[in-house]
Amino acid sequence: MPSEKPSVLVVDDDMRVLRVTQDILGDKGYRVFTSTDGHTGLEVLRKENPDVVLLDIMMPGMDGLTVCRRIREFSRVPIIMVTAKGDDEEKAKGLDAGADDYVTKPFSAIELAARIRAVLRRATFWDDRPEPAFSSGDLVIDFARHMVTLNGEEVDLTTTEYRLLSHLARNAGHVLAFDEILETVWDDRYVGENHLLQVNIARLRHKLGEDRKNPKHILTKHTGYVMAKDL
């Protein structure tokens, strides 16, 4: 991470929410960039290269889900989706679009700051773990370069997807319990959020070209998941 204060890009069409969020983050020591629409948000992202993006789902024109997908075409910056709904379907849409986390309105200053610290901490932790590459059949994970290839072709993963796959690979052959994965890849506040894990596993399997009914790399066990090795 840079030595200067971490920066957050906040994209929300509600000026009141934008001002409040900017004040909260400013008081916590973050540099804050803001945008009231998706198109401008993408421009600010390319120009300022923030450390985290806080992105509202419900926006006119280009909604947050579309913006999230656009970001994932060129960046792995951690994205926290902001939604006025707390149901699993809405959360899943954000995760499917490539988000790393979500926060539901109305949120407290404490919760927002905690979630931002968590995604920054996870990004730093996983960036500092150079190890020999993992390979199993046609799948190769180069930990030093943060690169995943399948049949020699690079697989484009989000930050969270990469962390999840790396954690499974580092423990290949061993069943990892759902809660253990959630606590390690996310943090202990997510223990019990099995739907969050299932969505990310499904997305990973899709990107790895897995057969949904008979996956060969990421296997489901009764109590968790296991990465196959020596294929």
Residue range(s) defining the domain that contains residue 168:
134-227
68 Cβ neighbours under 8 A, 6+ residues apart: 55, 79, 81, 94, 97, 98, 99
Instruction: Flag whether 113 is in a domain.
Output: yes
Mean pLDDT score, 28-57: 94
Q: Domain check: are 156 and 104 in the same one?
A: no
Instruction: Give the predicted TM-score (pTM) of the model.
Output: 0.64
- Among 127, 158, 192, the domain-final residue is 127
pLDDT digits (tens, 9 = 90+) for 113-159: 999 998 888 776 555 555 678 999 899 998 877 889 999 999 998 88
Mean pLDDT score, 162-184: 92
Instruction: Flag whether 1 is in a domain.
Output: no
Given a cut of 70, is residue 231 above it in pLDDT? no
Given a cut of 50, is residue 3 above it in pLDDT? no
Torsion angle in degrees (nearest 10) through CA of 183, 188, 192, 196? -60
Mean pLDDT score, 99-106: 88
Looking at residue 115, its amino acid is: R
> Would you put residue 135 in left (φ > 0), alpha (ψ -120 to 50) or beta?
beta
Q: Domain check: are 66 and 94 in the same one?
A: yes
Helices and strands in the chain, H and E counts: 8, 12
Specify the number of domains making up the chain.
2
Q: Domain check: are 114 and 149 in the same one?
A: no
Tell me, what CATH number does 157's domain have? 1.10.10.10
